[in-house]
Amino acid sequence: MPPAWERFRGEFARAAGAYGLVDHLSLQAEHKHTVSDDFVKSVALAGDLDTCVDRLRRLWQLDIDRITFALLSGGREQRLRYLADTVISAVEAGRGS
């Protein structure tokens, strides 16, 4: 486990024990209640537009060659359009900053 995630070892274990593949990305999944907000912030990119754009810009500066966007069920096409038209456009607009 990477040293930065060592503090979340217990949460990783709880999440692994509660996780059900059938509920993957489900809005009703019970396993979503097994980890803290700090854990989510450490392993995922989630939040409002400004938060996500800021984090994506910082990742961009690390020269990461790909990021996977998991889209929750219900309205995936709309979410994908929002990512492309709003989020990614905002990240690209601030590339030089």
Cα separation, 86 vs 5, whole angstroms? 31
Cα separation, 78 vs 26, whole angstroms? 17
Q: Are residues 61 and 17 in the same domain?
A: no
Cα separation, 87 vs 90, whole angstroms? 5
Whose tokens are 């754009």? That residue is: 53
Structure pTM?
A: 0.68
DSSP notation for 49-95: HHHHHHHHHHHHHTT----PPP--SSSHHHHHHHIIIIIIHHHHHTT
Residue 97 pLDDT exceeds 50: no
Give the tens place of pLDDT for each residue, 9-38. 999 998 888 887 777 767 677 777 788 889
Q: How many domains does the chain have?
A: 2
Q: Are residues 39 and 50 in the same domain?
A: no
Give the tens place of pLDDT for each residue, 41-90. 888 888 899 999 999 999 888 888 888 888 877 888 999 999 999 999 99
Q: Are residues 32 and 61 in the same domain?
A: no
Structure tokens at 7: 């503090």
User: Which has the closest alpha carbon to 15: 32, 37, 40, 38?
Assistant: 32
Range of the domain at 34: 1-44
Q: Are residues 31 and 62 in the same domain?
A: no
